[in-house]
Structure 1
Amino acid sequence: MIHETQLDIPRPAIDGAALRQVCGHFATGVTVITAGDDEGAAGTTVNSFTSVSLEPPLVLICLHENSRLLPVVQRSQGFTVNFLTHQQERLAWAFAGKQTARLDEVAHHRAPSGQPVLSGALAHLECRLAAEYDGGDHSILLGEVVGLGSSEEQEAPLIFFQGAMHGLAATGS
Structure 2
Amino acid sequence: MTTAPHTASRPDASIDGRALRTVCGSFATGVTVITSGTGDDAAGTTVNSFTSVSLDPALVLICLHENSRLLPVIRSSGGFVVNFLTRRQEPVAWAFAGRNTARLAETPHHRTGNGLPVLSDALGHLECRVATEYEGGDHSILLGQVVGLGAPADQEDPLLFFQGAMRELGEPVPAHGR
Same fold at TM > 0.5: yes
Report the equivalent of 2:63: 62
The CA deviation at 1:37 is 2.4
Q: State how far apart, in whole Å, the 2-side matches of 1:126 and 1:58 are.
A: 11
Question: Residue 63 of structure 1 aligns to a residue in which SS?
Answer: strand
Contact 1:77 1:129 (C-alpha < 8 Å) held by counterparts = yes
Deviating 4+ runs (over 4 angstroms): none
Question: Residue 101 of structure 1 aligns to a residue in which SS?
Answer: coil
Contact 1:34 1:80 (C-alpha < 8 Å) held by counterparts = yes
Question: Residue 160 of structure 1 aligns to a residue in which SS?
Answer: strand
Mark the runs of 5 or more structure 2 residues left unpaired by the alignment: 1-10, 171-178
Report the equivalent of 2:33: 32
What does 1:54-133 align with in structure 2 at a 5 Å threshold?
54-133=55-134
Cα root mean square deviation, aligned: 1.2
Question: Residue 42 of structure 2 aligns to a residue in which SS?
Answer: strand
Contact 2:124 2:153 (C-alpha < 8 Å) held by counterparts = no
Aligned: 1:53 with 2:54: yes
Q: State how far apart, in whole Å, the 1-side matches of 2:54 and 2:154 are.
A: 26
The CA deviation at 1:99 is 1.1
The CA deviation at 1:113 is 2.1
Q: State how far apart, in whole Å, the 2-side matches of 1:18 and 1:54 are.
A: 34
**What letter matches 1:88 in structure 2?**
Q
Q: State how far apart, in whole Å, the 2-side matches of 1:152 and 1:46 are.
A: 19
Q: State how far apart, in whole Å, the 1-side matches of 2:144 and 2:112 are.
A: 16
Contact 1:113 1:147 (C-alpha < 8 Å) held by counterparts = no
Q: State how far apart, in whole Å, the 1-side matches of 2:169 and 2:145 are.
A: 28
The CA deviation at 1:77 is 0.2
Contact 2:65 2:138 (C-alpha < 8 Å) held by counterparts = yes
Q: State how far apart, in whole Å, the 1-side matches of 2:14 and 2:31 are.
A: 29
Report the equivalent of 1:42: 43
Contact 2:30 2:48 (C-alpha < 8 Å) held by counterparts = yes
Question: Residue 87 of structure 1 aligns to a residue in which SS?
Answer: helix
Aligned: 1:12 with 2:13: yes
Q: State how far apart, in whole Å, the 1-side matches of 2:153 and 2:14 are.
A: 48
Q: CA offsets per residue over residues 103-144 of structure 1, 9 Å max, x none?
A: 111110001121100011000000001000000000000000
The CA deviation at 1:152 is 4.7
Report the equivalent of 2:22: 21
Question: Residue 79 of structure 1 aligns to a residue in which SS?
Answer: strand
Question: Normalising by the residue count of structure 2, what TM-score does the alignment of the two structures yield?
Answer: 0.87
Question: Normalising by the residue count of structure 1, what TM-score does the alignment of the two structures yield?
Answer: 0.89
Aligned: 1:138 with 2:139: yes
Mark the runs of 5 or more structure 1 residues left unpaired by the alignment: 1-9
